[in-house]
Structure 1
Amino acid sequence: MDKTDTPAKRSKPGKRPTISDVARLAGVAPAIVSRALSPQRRPVSAEKKERVLKAADELGYRQNPLARGLATQSIDLVAIIINHMTDLSDLDLFDSLLDGVQMLGKQAIMIRVGSNQRIDEFLRNSLSYHVHAAVVFSDFADAGEVRELFHSDNVLMLNGRFDAQSHYITIDEDSGIRDLIRFARSRGVSSAALLTGRSSSIVEQTRIAAYRSACAIEGIEIQREISGDYSYQSGLEADFGAATPDAVFCTSDTMAMGVMDQLRAQGKHPPRDYSLFGFDAIERGNFGAYDISSVGFDRADFIQAILSFLQEPEAFPETGLCIPTRYIARSTG
C-alpha cells in the first residue's frame, strides 16, 4: 500500500470527506485537488488529475457548489438583492424562489441593502462577485449600479428601475386595485383612509396613484393618507383621527394586520365596524387570524418567470413580462 494511502489518513467513517482527505489519498497538495476538480481549465498534469479523480470517487467527495462559487467567483451564483426581510409577503415568496434557484443547479446569495447609502457603500468597498445573474427586489438599486456591482449584464429588475439594457418583470396592479375599489363601493364605502408604504419606491408611487385614481372614479373620498413603511408597527401606530372611516386601504397585508390589531383594541372589528383591505394576498393558511381581503397575484407564475430568466437570460422577452393582479375577497371586506 502507498504510504499516502493508509487507513489512518483516510476520512473517518460517517465524516464528510474534505479536499484535504482527497489530497492525502491522492498524494498531492490540496491546491492540486482544487485545480483538478475545477470546472474551469486549470494547470495540472493528466497523471495528477487522474489520481485526484480516482481518490475523490473512492472517498465519495462532492464539492459544495456554494463554497466553490464564493471561492472562485463562479457563474453558478445568483445574487438576490432585497431591502429587508421583515415584510411577511417577502417571506411568503422567497422560500419557493430559493428552492427553484437550487433546482436549476445554482446557488443564491441574498444581499440586504436596507437603504440607499448601503448601495453606495457596496460600490465604494468594491464588494463584487462574478455572478450568473442578479435579481433585484430592492427599490434602492437601479440597473446600472447592479451591473457595476456584479460585473454582469444578466440583471432582472423587479423594482421598476429598469433601463434599456436590463430585463424586467412588472406587476399590473391597476386591475386588482380597480376591482377592490369597485367592490368596496358596492358595499357602501364612501370614505376611506389610505395607509401607504415607502413613497421613495417607484412601485409604491404607482400603487398609490392607482388607489387615488380608482377611488376618484368610484366616488370614494380618501379622507386621510398615512405614510408607513410596510411594517406591522406602522399599521399598529397609524393615526386615523377621531372617527374611523368606512374603509382602510393598506398597500401591504402586513400593515393591514397592524391596523386590525390597533382597532380591535378599541372594540372595532371588520367588516362590522369598518372594511379593511390589504395588498399582497399573503397565504391565508399561514396567518389564519388575519383573514384580510386583499389584492394579489399568482406567485407561482411570478417565480416561474424569474426562473425562466435565470435559466436562459438571452431568451427572456425584451419587452419584459407583466403579471396580472386580482381582488381576493376574504372576511374583512
Structure 2
Amino acid sequence: MPTIADVAKLAGVSRAVASRALSADKRPVSQDKRERVLAAAEELGYRVNLLAQSLTTKTVNLIAVVVNHIHDLSDLDLFDLLLTEIQAAGKQTVLIRVGSEEKVGEFLRRGIAYHVDAALVFSDFADAATVRRMFRSDLVVMLNGRHDRLSPAVIPDEATGIGEAVADAAAKGVKQASLVTGRASSQVEQARIASYREAFEKHGIGLVGTAQGDYSYHSGHAVAADLTGTDCPQAIFCTSDAMAMGILDACRGDFPGNRPSRFRLYGFDNLSLLDFDAYPISSIGYDKKAYVRRILGILAEPPVGEDITPVLIPSRYVPRLTG
C-alpha cells in the first residue's frame, strides 16, 4: 500500500506539506503544491488512513446525529442541509435512530458507543447526561429541549411565529380554532402547544377541539373528518406542515383555488414544498440556514464551562393562500 512518504516523494514535497494538502481541514499550502500532491495521490492510489490520522489529531471527523426517525417531511429540508454543511467542514455523520426510551436504555446496557467528535441530538427520548454517557463525549449539542447547564443547545423561538400566526387569524375574524398536535412526550411539542394556548387566549380565540397525530401526512389526513364536520372550526392549526397537507388533501372541496371557504388552515415548519402550487399552506418557520450555521459554529468552537446559554433562533409567520 502506498504511504504518505511515497506521495510526498512523487510530488516533490515534504511529508508535512503532503499531509496538509490531503487534510480535510483548511490548512496552509500553496495551490501548486496541493495540486501536485493530489495528482501524486491519485496516481499511486493513496487513501488517507483515517484511523492513523485520528491517533494523531485525537479526532475521527465523525458526528453522530441522533433522531427518533426520519419520516417527517420536515426532516428532509433540515437534514439535507445539515449533512451538506457537516461534510463541507470535512466531517462525516453517523445517523442513529433512537425510537424509544427503551432503545436508549439498550444502548447503555449493551455498552454500545461510537467514537465520535460530537453528537447532535434531535431525538426527544434522550437527555443530555444520558447522551454524554452513550458517546463518552462532553460535546453533545441538544436540539430537543432536554439540555442541561453543561450542554450547548440551539432552540427555535417558536412562540414568536405562533403568536404572529394566531394574530393573523384573529385579524381575519377567527373566534374558534382546533389544534392538531404531535407526540405528547416531546418537550419541544409541549412548549409549542403551550405557546398556541397562550396566543389563543391573548387574541380571544376559543380552542374548540384537539387531535393528536404524529407529525405525518397520514395522521393529518386521518383526523380531518373528525375536525371538519358540521361543527367545523373557523381555523385549524397543525404543529407540522405534513399534518396540514394531509388535512388539505382530505378537504380539497373546502379550498377552491386553494383559498379557504369554511376554515383557515395553518401548518408549522415552513417546508420548501409549500412554495409550490399544490400546498400553499400558511406556516410558521425559522431560518434553517441560520440554525445549521449556529450548530456548526458550536462544533467548530465548543463552549466551555457550566451554565451554557442556549442559542435562540427566531421564528416567523409565513402567510399563504390557506390562511
Q: TM-score normalised by the shorter chain: which range applies?
A: 0.7 to 0.9
Measured after TM superposition, the shift of residue 57 of structure 1 is 7.3
Q: Aligned pair 1:318/2:312, yes or no?
A: no
Shift of 1:272: 2.1
Tell me if structure 1 keeps the 8 A contact 2:150–2:308: no
Matching residue of 1:143: 128
Q: Which consecutive aligned stretches of 4+ in structure 1 deviate over 4 angstroms post-superposition?
A: 55-58, 64-69
Equivalenced residues, count: 282
- In structure 2, the gaps of 5 or more residues are 7-18, 24-39
Q: Which amino acid in the other structure matches residue 92 of structure 1?
A: D
Measured after TM superposition, the shift of residue 154 of structure 1 is 0.3
Instruction: Summarize the Cα distance change of 1:173–1:285 in structure 2 as closer, same or farther, 3 Å threshold.
Output: closer
Q: In the aligned structure 1, how far is the partner of 2:175 from the partner of 2:139?
A: 47
- Residue identity in the other structure for 1:197: G
Per-residue CA deviations over 1:235-259 (Å, capped at 9, x if unaligned) read 0011215422111000000110011
Contact conserved, 2:50 with 2:60, CA < 8 A, in 1? no
**Equivalent residue letter for 1:268:** D
1:81 paired to 2:66: yes
Per chain length, whose mean CA-contact separation is higher, i.e. which structure has more relative contact order (CA < 8 Å, sep 6+)?
2
Partner residue of 1:307 out of 284, 296, 300: 296
Query: Counterpart of 2:293 in structure 1: which amino acid?
Result: Q
CA drift at 1:283: 1.1
Displacement of 1:183 in angstroms is 0.4
What TM-score do the two structures reach when normalised by structure 2? Answer: 0.81
Query: Does the aligned pair in 1 maintain the 2:274–2:280 contact within 8 Å?
Result: no
Residues of 2 paired with 1:217 and 1:183: CA distance? 13
* Partner Cα distance (1:122, 1:188) in 2: 51
Is the aligned partner of 1:253 residue 2:238?
A: no
| Partner SS, residue 326 of structure 1 | strand
Q: Which amino acid aligns with 1:80?
A: V
User: What whole-Å deviation, never above 9, does each CA across 1:83-129 have from its counterpart, x for those lacking one?
Assistant: 11111111111111101101111111111111221111111221111
1:329 maps onto 2:319 in alignment: yes
- Asked whether the equivalents of residues 309 and 315 of structure 1 are also in contact (C-alpha less than 8 Å), the reply is no
Distance 1:287 1:200, change over 3 A: farther
Indicate if the aligned counterparts of 1:278 and 1:292 stay in contact, CA closer than 8 A.
Answer: yes
CA drift of 1:67 comes to 12
Q: Is the 8 A contact 2:267 2:284 kept in 1?
A: yes
Deviations 1:158-204 (A, max 9, x none): 11100111111111111111110110011111111100010110000
Separation (CA, whole Å) in 2 of partners of 1:64 and 1:112: 28
- 1:272–1:118 distance in 2 versus 1, CA, 3 Å: same
How far apart are the structure 2 equivalents of 1:139 and 1:332?
30
Q: Distance in 1 between matches of 2:276 and 2:304?
A: 38
Equivalent of 2:193 in 204, 208, 230 = 208
- Does the C-alpha gap of structure 1 residues 285 and 328 become closer, same or farther in structure 2, counting only changes over 3 Å? closer
